[in-house]
Structure 1
Amino acid sequence: MKEIEEIEESNIDNLYMVFIIDNKKYALSSKYIIEIIEMLPLTKVPFIPKYIKGIINLRSTIIPVMDARMRFDLEPIEYNERTCVIIIEHKGNTIGLIVDAVNEVINISESQIMKTTSSKDGIAQNFISGISEINNEVQLILDCNSLVEIVGDMNYEINE
């Protein structure tokens, strides 16, 4: 019960979902996360970037799904029972983000985030907005805008 009380007392802007990609911890502000789902069957779409694995139909909304490993130029792996899709919404765009595993929700205050500047590493330059260290564990804070900007006009409603 204590964890629930701590989360309720936390500022929603300070809550971050921590997930694993290639044995590294990444965090994304919970204000962008709609839900976490298990892998659903993907429908392939031609002529889109390879890291967009396809689309899913989630409650009559077509959502493009991106493999985070591939987007970060990492080798793809076989999906398993821990693989899941984080449904993210930002500035009217919705996208599913395939991650190796979801870890936890933690409170990261603004003062605990070290901002990044430019880097030779393309991932840091494009997707990482900051770094935090909580309980001797490093979390790379993802920039949601960079993640969903590729989606553009790929969201569709199904007419019933």
Structure 2
Amino acid sequence: MSTNDEIIDNKIDDLCMVFIIDNQKYALSSKYITEIIEMLPITKVPFIPEYIKGIINLRSNIIPVMDARMRFGISPKEYDERTCIIIIENNDEKIGLIVDAVNEVIHIPDGQSMKMDSNDSDDKPNFIKGVSEINNEVQLILDCDSLVKIVEDIDYALNR
């Protein structure tokens, strides 16, 4: 890999998609986002956590869909024309994340974000990897590994 390729890869790693859940801005590294789609019909699946709304069929791929509001302990709300699904992929696992709205793509260099310590001994998953402040607005940076781990947990629950 040439030096220019490494620089481009580092720039891409610093790009984050900002989306909104209950008037709070969240950011997720764009390298995990495969696409953003409008709401599709969701098929309910029994015996899975309530925050998993079900599954969607996206071009013959079955993808579990999680309501971010519910997963983060925020009251659910009716979906509207701004509600969308962000398709996230990590280590060959995909999940759809239902968010209130997608806002923008921003560049968050390492110096402009503060990492948060994860407490592995805590029973509650920590989805927040860090915090950044850009243009006097705070974004909570999500940990994609924690979000996608839910897919593994669902597969385990369904195949027991």
When normalised by structure 2's length, the TM-score is 0.85
- RMSD over aligned CA atoms reads 2.1
Task: Provide the residue aligned with 1:98 in structure 2.
Answer: 98
SS at match of 2:146: helix
For 1:41 and 1:125, locate their aligned partners in 2 and report how far apart those are by CA, in whole Å: 28
CA separation of 1:118/1:31 partners in 2, compared to 1, >3 Å: closer, same or farther? closer
Number of matched pairs = 145
Question: Secondary structure of the equivalent of 1:94?
Answer: strand
Q: What is the one-letter code of the residue matched to 2:96?
A: G
The answer as to whether partners of 1:117 and 1:125 remain within 8 angstroms in 2 is: no
* 1:123-134 to 2 correspondences below 5 Å: 126-134=126-134
Partner amino acid for 1:11? Answer: K
Give the 3-state SS of the residue equivalent to 2:81 in structure 1.
coil
Gaps in structure 2 of 5+ consecutive residues: 1-7, 156-160
Contact kept, 8 Å, 1:112 with 1:133, in 2: the verdict is: yes
Please name the residue that 2:139 is paired with.
139
Shift of the alpha carbon at 1:116? 1.2
Q: What stretches of structure 1 of length at least 5 have no aligned partner?
A: 1-7, 156-160
SS in 2 for 1:73: coil
- Give distance in 1, aligned partners of 2:145 and 2:117: 16
2:3 is aligned to none
In the TM superposition, structure 1's runs of 4+ consecutive aligned residues that sit over 3 Å from their partners are: none
Give the structure 2 partner of residue 3 of structure 1.
none
Question: For 1:116 and 1:95, how far apart are their aligned partners in 2?
Answer: 24
Q: How does 1:42-121 map to 2 (within 5 A)?
A: 42-117=42-117
Give the aligned partner of residue 26 of structure 1. 26
Paired amino acid for 2:22: D
> Using the alignment, how far apart are the partners of 1:67 and 1:12 within structure 2?
27
Q: CA deviation at 1:117?
A: 2.5
Q: CA deviation at 1:125?
A: 6.2
CA distance 1:115–1:9, change in 2 (3 Å): closer
TM-score w.r.t. structure 1 length?
0.85
Cα displacement string for residues 65-97 of structure 1 (whole angstroms, at most 9, x for unaligned residues):
000000001100000000000000011110000
